[in-house]
Structure 1
Amino acid sequence: MSSLRPVVDFLLYDWLKVDQLSQRSRFSDHSRDTFDAVLDTCERIAREKYAPHNRLVDTEEPRFDGEKVVLPAATKQAWEAYAESGMLSAAQDYDIGGMQLPYTVEAAAGAFFAVASVSIGGGLLTVGNANLLMAHGTDLQKQVFALNEFNGRFSGTMCLSEPQAGSSLSDVATRATPDGPDFESDPLGPRYRVRGNKMWISAGEHELTENIVHLVLAKIPGPDGKLVAGTRGISLFLVPKKLVGPDGQLTGERNDIALAGLNHKLGWRGTTNTLLNFGEGKFPVRGGAGAIGYLVGKPGEGLRCMFHMMNEARIGIGMAATALGLAGYYASLDYAKQRPQGRPVGPAGKDPGQPQVRIIEHADVKRMLLAQKSYGEGALALMLYCARLVDEQHTGAPEAADEARLLLEVLTPIAKSWPSEFCLEANSLAIQVHGGYGYTRDFPVEQYWRDQRLNMIHEGTHGIQAADLLGRKVVMEGGRGLQLLAGRINATIEAALQRPHLAEHANALAKALQRVGAATKAAWATGDPSAALANAVPYMQAFGHLVIAWMWLDVLLTVPAQEQARTPAHVGRVHAARYFFHYELPKVPAWLAVVETRDPTCAQMPEEAF
C-alpha cells in the first residue's frame, strides 16, 4: 500500500494541481498541508484497521444466527475508525460537521481503504444515501437521517433490484400505499406502507450502527388500485430499519423489514449482501400492515432522485475496481522481485550451473507488470479527473460548472466500466505472475480477482453502461458532451505535438479520436437504436481505451522532458504510457469495425441455434 501514496501525490498535486483549489472560498481554510494530513490519517487507518483483516473477512463470511447478522469484530473496529476519522462527512459544510474538503481529495483518500480491503468497505453507500437526502429530502429528513449518517450513527443502503427485476427497474413490483388519512401530516414526510421484496442489498442487515436507512424504489398505485407501468410510476421512500422520532432518537420500535436471506458471493465476502422483505408481517408495526416509509421527493420521480446516488456509486465502484487492480499489481510486483525462476535467454542461460534469475528479469513478466501498471494507474488518473470535475461542477464559474456536468455525464459509464473490465484483467495477470501459487489462498491475488469480478455487474452491468454511453450520453444535448470531451483531448494532443518525444503518442491519439467520432456517426447513421446499440460494448471498450490513452498522454505533459529518463517514478510512467500506446491503443480499430458497419451477427443469432 506504501506504493500508492507517491502515485496519488503526483496525480493530485503535479498533474491536477488540487492545492490550487484552496484559492476558492469554499476551500479557503485548506492547503496542501491539510490535504496531506487527511491522506496521512486515511493511509494509517487503512494500514492498521483494514489491510491486516482482508483475508479474515473473506474467510469468515457474514452469518445469520437466527436473530442478527454476525460479522468479525474487525469489521466493527474498521467502521468505527472510519467514522471517527470524519471521512463520512469530509466534503460537507462546516455547519453540519463536515470538513469542506474537495471531493478530489476525498476520493483519493478513499483509495487507501479500497486497496487495503475493498471487502470491508468504507462509507460509499452511506455517504451516497445521505447525499441523496441532502439533495432531495425534506429539512427534517436531512436533519434526522442524513446528518446521522454523516456522523456514523446510522448507515445507509439503496434498494433497487428485485428477484424478477434486476437491471430492469421499470418492472419493480414493490408498492407503497398511503398510511391512513393523515399520511401527509407526518413531520418526517408523507408516510406510506411499503410492501415488497428487494435483492442484492449491500450492507442491508448488520449491527455496525444504531440504525440502517434504506432508500427503496416502489410504486404508488393509481386511482384504479393498479401499479403504473414503466418508470413513471416509481417513487422513492426512506424506510428505516428502526423507527425514529422527529428528534432523531430511536422510538424503540422495529420496522417491518425482515432478512429473507444472505447472498453467498464469489468475492466482496466481508460486505453483507441481503434479500429483504418489506411489510411481510414478521415485525408488525403500529397496528398496520407494511413497513413504514417516508416519501422522498415528489411522487413518480423516484428514479430521478435515485440516479443522484446511483451515479455517485458508479464512480465509487470505478475507484474500487481501480484499487483492486493496483493491489494486485503491488502484490505481483513484490513477488516478481523476489521469486527466482529460470535463466536469461541466450548462451549464458543454457548453463545450468548459472544461478537462477528473479522472474522480473524476464521480458514477458515485465509485460504483465507493465499491463497492470498501465491499467491501474491510468484508471486512477481517470477516477481523480472525474472527481476533479465534481469539484468544478460545484465550485467553478457557471460556464466551467456546466462543462464539468456534461463531461461527467459522458465519462461516468467509462469511469464505472473501464476499470471494472481492465483492472479485472490486471488481477488475472497478477495471478499469472505468481504462477501456480497465485491460484492458491497462500497469496492474496486470487482474492483480489474474486473481489474484482463483481464490479462489471453491480451499479449497472457492463452492457447497460455501454448502452447508456452510445445510446444516450454521446448524443445528449446534440452531442455537446462528446464535443467538449473531444476538445479537451485535442488540447492535450496539440500540447504534446510541441514536444518531439511525445509526438508519436499524440498522432496515435488523434487517429483514435477521429475513429471514435466516425464510429459514433456510423452507428447512428440509420437512426435505428437496435442497429446502433447491437455493438455497444465494443464501442465502450474502444471509447474507454481512447480516454485512458488521453489520461496517460496528459499525465506525461506534467513530466519535464529532462526527468523522463532520469527519475525512476517518471521512467515508470513513460514506459507504462508507451505500453498502453503500443500494445493497447491499436485494439481500437478492431473494436470499432463492427460498430461502424453495424454488424448484425449478435443481434441476428437465432435462439435455437445456440
Structure 2
Amino acid sequence: MTTLRSTLEFLLYDWLQAESLTARERFGDHSRETFDAVLDTCERIAREKYAPFNRTVDTQEPQFDGEKVILPRCTYEARQAYAESGMLSAAQDYEMGGMQLPYTLEAAANSFFAAASISIGSNMLTSGNANAIMAHGTAMQQQVFAANEFNGRWAGTMCLSEPQAGSSLSDIATRAEPDGADFESDALGPRYRLKGNKMWISAGDHELTENIVHLVLAKIPGPDGRPVPGVKGISLFIVPKKLVDTEGRLTSERNDVALAGLNHKLGWRGTTNTLLNFGEGKYPVRGASGAIGYLVGKPGEGLKCMFHMMNEARISIGMAATMLGLAGYYASLDYAQNRPQGRPIGAGGKDATKPQSRIIEHADVKRMLLAQKAYGEGALALNLFCARLVDEQHTGTPEAVDEARLLLEVLTPVAKSWPSEFCLEANSLAIQIHGGYGYTRDFPVEQYWRDNRLNMIHEGTHGIQAMDLLGRKVLMEGGRGLQLLAGRINGTIEKAMRHEMLAAYANQLAAALAEVGAATKAAWATGDAQEALANAVPYMQAFGHVVLAWTWLDVVLAVLERDASVSIAPNAGRVGAMRYFFHYELPRIGAWLNVVRQRDMTCAQLPESAF
C-alpha cells in the first residue's frame, strides 16, 4: 500500500493540484490535512478488512440455500467498515450525510479497496445507484431510497441486461404496467407492476444490508396498449427487494423479486452475480402479480437516467482494472526483487561459481516490470484526471463546466476500456515474471488476472465502447470534444518542447495526434457507418495509446517542475515509465490506424461460411 500511497499523493497534489479545490465554496471546509485523513482511513480499512481476505472470498464463493445467499463473515465486516467510514456518501451534500469531498479524492481513496480486494470492494453500484436517484428521482425518492443507500442501511444495483438481449437494450422484454391499486406508498412515485427477468446483476441478492434497491429498465405500454419498440419505450424504475414506507421503514411485505440463481464466475467471486425474476409470483404483493416499481424521471427516458449511472460506473470499472493491474505489478516487483535465478552473462559466458542473480537484474524482467508500471500508473493518472473533470463539471466556471463535460464524453470510453485491456496485459506479465509459480494459487497474481478479465466486458464490452468512441463521441457537437482534447494535448506538447530531454517525445506525440486526426477523417470519408466502424477497436486502441502518451508526458512535466535533476528514485521511475511508453508502446499505433484509414473490410465482409 505504501507504494500506492506515494503514487496517489504525487498524482493528486503535484500533478492535479487537488489541494487547490479547497478554494471553492463547496470544498471550503477541507484542506490537505482532511484529504490525507480520508486517505489514511481508507488505506487502514483496506489493509485490515480487505487485503487479508482476498483469497478467502475467491475460494469461498457465494452460496444460495434456496432462501438466501450465504457469504463469508469477512465480507460482512468489510462492508460494515466501509459503510461506517462514510465513503458511500463521500461526495454528497452535508444535508445528505455526506462529507462534500471532491470526487477526485473519493476516487483516489477508493483505489485502496480495489487494490486490496476487488471482490469485496465493489460498493460502486450502491453509490452510483443513489447518485442516479439524486439526479433524476423525486425529493421523496431521494429521501427514502438514496439517503438510505448513502448511510449504508441499503445496497443498490443496476438491472439492465436480460438473458435473451445481452447488451442490446432495445430488445429487453421486461414490462411495466401502471398499478391501479390505491395505497399509501404512491407518495414514492408513479407505481407500476413489473414482470421480466434480469441477468448478470452484481450484488443482486445478499444479506449484507437490510434492503436492496434495484434500478430496473423496463418497457411501458404505448398509447395503443402495446410496448413502444426500440429504446423510446424504456423507462427506469426503483424496485426495492423489500417494500418500504415514506419514512424509509421496511413494511411487512417482501416485493416480488426472486433470486433465480447465481452465476459462477472466473473472477470477482466474492461479489454475488445473479439472475433475478421480477413479478413471477413467488412473492405476490397485495394479491396481485408483478413486482412493485416506482418510476424514476419521465416515461420513456429510462436510458437517459440510467446512463448517468452507467458513465460513472464505466470510470469506476477503469479504476478497478487499473488497481488490479497495479496489485499484480506490486506483487511481481516484490517477487523479482527476492527471487534468485540465473547468472550474468559475461564475455566468456556464465560463471557457475558466482552467486545467482535476482531476476530483477535480467533485462527482460525489467522490461515486463516497466510495462506493468507504464500501464498501471498511466491508467491511474488518466482515471484521476477524469475524476478531476467531474469536479470541474460540478464546481467550475460555466466555461470550465462545458469543457469538462465534453472532455468526459470523449475520454470515458477510453478510461473504461484502455485499462481493461492493458492492465489485464500487465496481470499476464505479472504471471510471467513468477514463472510456473505464477500459474498456481500459491501466489496472488493468477487471481488478479482472473478478476481483471471481467473488466473488458463489464459495463459495456470493448467493442461497444469502441463504437461509442468512433461512432459518436469524436463526432458529437461537430467534433468539439475531440478538438478540446487535441487542444489539451497540444498544450502539453508546447510545454514539453521547452525541455531538452522531452522535445523528442513532444514531437513524437504531435505526430501521433496528427495520425489519429487523419484516421478519424478517413474512417468517415464515405459517410458509411459500416465502413467507418469496421475497425473501431483498433481505432480505440490507438486513440487510447495517444491519450496515455499525453498523460505520461504531462506527468513527467510535473516531475521536472519539482525535481529537475530527477534525483528522487520514484521520479526516476516515472521518467523511465514515460520513456518506455514512447519507445515501446506509442509506435504500435501505426498498424492500428492503418486499417482504420483504409476502412479495411477484411473482418466485416468475410462470409460466415468461411469460418
TM-score w.r.t. structure 1 length?
Answer: 0.99
In the aligned structure 1, how far is the partner of 2:44 from the partner of 2:181?
A: 54
The alignment status of 1:331 with 2:328, answered yes or no, reads no
In the aligned structure 2, how far is the partner of 1:239 from the partner of 1:103?
A: 28
Instruction: Report the AA paired with residue 161 of structure 1.
Output: S
Once the two structures are superposed, the pairs formed by residues 84-123 of structure 1 within 5 Å of their partners are 84-123=84-123
Residue 182 (structure 1) shift: 4.6
Once the two structures are superposed, the pairs formed by residues 35-74 of structure 1 within 5 Å of their partners are 35-74=35-74
Helix, strand or coil: the match of 2:195? strand
1:542-577 Cα offsets, whole Å, 9 max, x none, are 000000000000001111275453110011001100
Instruction: Report the AA paired with residue 171 of structure 2.
Output: D
In the aligned structure 1, how far is the partner of 2:433 from the partner of 2:595?
A: 33
Counterpart of 1:357 in structure 2 is: 357
1:226-282 Cα offsets, whole Å, 9 max, x none, are 211100010000000000001110002100011000000000000000000000000
User: Residue 564 of structure 1 contacts residue 570 of structure 1 at CA under 8 Å; is this kept in 2?
Assistant: no
Counterpart of 1:311 in structure 2 is: 311
In the aligned structure 2, how far is the partner of 1:183 from the partner of 1:478?
A: 50
User: Residue 158 of structure 2 contacts residue 215 of structure 2 at CA under 8 Å; is this kept in 1?
Assistant: yes
1:43-70 Cα offsets, whole Å, 9 max, x none, are 0000000000000000000000121000
User: Residue 89 of structure 1 contacts residue 151 of structure 1 at CA under 8 Å; is this kept in 2?
Assistant: yes
Counterpart of 1:267 in structure 2 is: 267
In the aligned structure 2, how far is the partner of 1:544 from the partner of 1:565?
A: 27
Once the two structures are superposed, the pairs formed by residues 452-467 of structure 1 within 5 Å of their partners are 452-467=452-467
Instruction: Report the AA paired with residue 162 of structure 2.
Output: E
The alignment status of 1:570 with 2:571, answered yes or no, reads yes
Counterpart of 1:600 in structure 2 is: 601
Counterpart of 1:521 in structure 2 is: 521
User: Residue 122 of structure 2 contacts residue 271 of structure 2 at CA under 8 Å; is this kept in 1?
Assistant: no
The alignment status of 1:503 with 2:477, answered yes or no, reads no
Helix, strand or coil: the match of 1:231? coil
Counterpart of 2:482 in structure 1 is: 482
Counterpart of 2:583 in structure 1 is: 582
Counterpart of 2:446 in structure 1 is: 446
Once the two structures are superposed, the pairs formed by residues 128-527 of structure 1 within 5 Å of their partners are 128-180=128-180, 182=182, 186-347=186-347, 350-527=350-527
Instruction: Report the AA paired with residue 5 of structure 2.
Output: R
In the aligned structure 1, how far is the partner of 2:149 from the partner of 2:14?
A: 34
1:149-201 Cα offsets, whole Å, 9 max, x none, are 00000000000000011110000000001111659981000000000000000
1:293-344 Cα offsets, whole Å, 9 max, x none, are 0000000000000000000000000000000000000000000000000011
Instruction: Report the AA paired with residue 585 of structure 2.
Output: E
User: Residue 183 of structure 1 contacts residue 191 of structure 1 at CA under 8 Å; is this kept in 2?
Assistant: no
User: Residue 104 of structure 1 contacts residue 387 of structure 1 at CA under 8 Å; is this kept in 2?
Assistant: yes
In the aligned structure 2, how far is the partner of 1:409 from the partner of 1:473?
A: 6
In the aligned structure 1, how far is the partner of 2:345 from the partner of 2:506?
A: 34
User: Residue 194 of structure 2 contacts residue 290 of structure 2 at CA under 8 Å; is this kept in 1?
Assistant: yes
1:372-408 Cα offsets, whole Å, 9 max, x none, are 0000000000000000000000000000110000000
User: Residue 519 of structure 1 contacts residue 592 of structure 1 at CA under 8 Å; is this kept in 2?
Assistant: yes
* Gapped regions of structure 1 (runs ≥ 5): none
In the aligned structure 2, how far is the partner of 1:565 from the partner of 1:42?
A: 30
User: Residue 185 of structure 2 contacts residue 245 of structure 2 at CA under 8 Å; is this kept in 1?
Assistant: no
Runs of 4+ in 1 over 3 A off after TM superposition: 181-185, 561-565
Sort the Cα spacing of 1:183 and 1:467 in 2 relative to 1 into closer, same or farther, 3 A: farther
Instruction: Report the AA paired with residue 173 of structure 2.
Output: A
In the aligned structure 1, how far is the partner of 2:520 from the partner of 2:277?
A: 43
* Gapped regions of structure 2 (runs ≥ 5): none
Residue 117 (structure 1) shift: 0.3
Count of residues in Structure 1 that have an aligned counterpart in Structure 2: 610
Helix, strand or coil: the match of 1:193? strand
| Identity among equivalent pairs (%) | 78
User: Residue 564 of structure 1 contacts residue 574 of structure 1 at CA under 8 Å; is this kept in 2?
Assistant: no
In the aligned structure 2, how far is the partner of 1:207 from the partner of 1:349?
A: 63
Residue 355 (structure 1) shift: 1.0
User: Residue 183 of structure 1 contacts residue 192 of structure 1 at CA under 8 Å; is this kept in 2?
Assistant: no
User: Residue 82 of structure 1 contacts residue 122 of structure 1 at CA under 8 Å; is this kept in 2?
Assistant: no
TM-score w.r.t. structure 2 length?
Answer: 0.99
The alignment status of 1:13 with 2:27, answered yes or no, reads no
Instruction: Report the AA paired with residue 296 of structure 1.
Output: V
User: Residue 89 of structure 1 contacts residue 127 of structure 1 at CA under 8 Å; is this kept in 2?
Assistant: yes
User: Residue 256 of structure 2 contacts residue 278 of structure 2 at CA under 8 Å; is this kept in 1?
Assistant: yes
User: Residue 183 of structure 1 contacts residue 190 of structure 1 at CA under 8 Å; is this kept in 2?
Assistant: no
In the aligned structure 2, how far is the partner of 1:352 from the partner of 1:563?
A: 42
User: Residue 325 of structure 1 contacts residue 372 of structure 1 at CA under 8 Å; is this kept in 2?
Assistant: yes
User: Residue 68 of structure 1 contacts residue 206 of structure 1 at CA under 8 Å; is this kept in 2?
Assistant: yes
C-alpha RMSD of the superposition: 1.1
1:346-384 Cα offsets, whole Å, 9 max, x none, are 236521111110000000000000000000000000000
User: Residue 185 of structure 2 contacts residue 246 of structure 2 at CA under 8 Å; is this kept in 1?
Assistant: no
In the aligned structure 1, how far is the partner of 2:42 from the partner of 2:229?
A: 46
1:110-151 Cα offsets, whole Å, 9 max, x none, are 100000000112420000000000010011100000000000
In the aligned structure 2, how far is the partner of 1:305 from the partner of 1:184?
A: 26
In the aligned structure 1, how far is the partner of 2:76 from the partner of 2:349?
A: 53
In the aligned structure 2, how far is the partner of 1:601 from the partner of 1:482?
A: 28
In the aligned structure 1, how far is the partner of 2:262 from the partner of 2:565?
A: 51
User: Residue 328 of structure 2 contacts residue 427 of structure 2 at CA under 8 Å; is this kept in 1?
Assistant: yes
1:205-234 Cα offsets, whole Å, 9 max, x none, are 000001000000000122333211100010
Instruction: Report the AA paired with residue 68 of structure 2.
Output: K
In the aligned structure 1, how far is the partner of 2:347 from the partner of 2:583?
A: 29
Helix, strand or coil: the match of 2:187? coil
Sort the Cα spacing of 1:182 and 1:223 in 2 relative to 1 into closer, same or farther, 3 A: farther
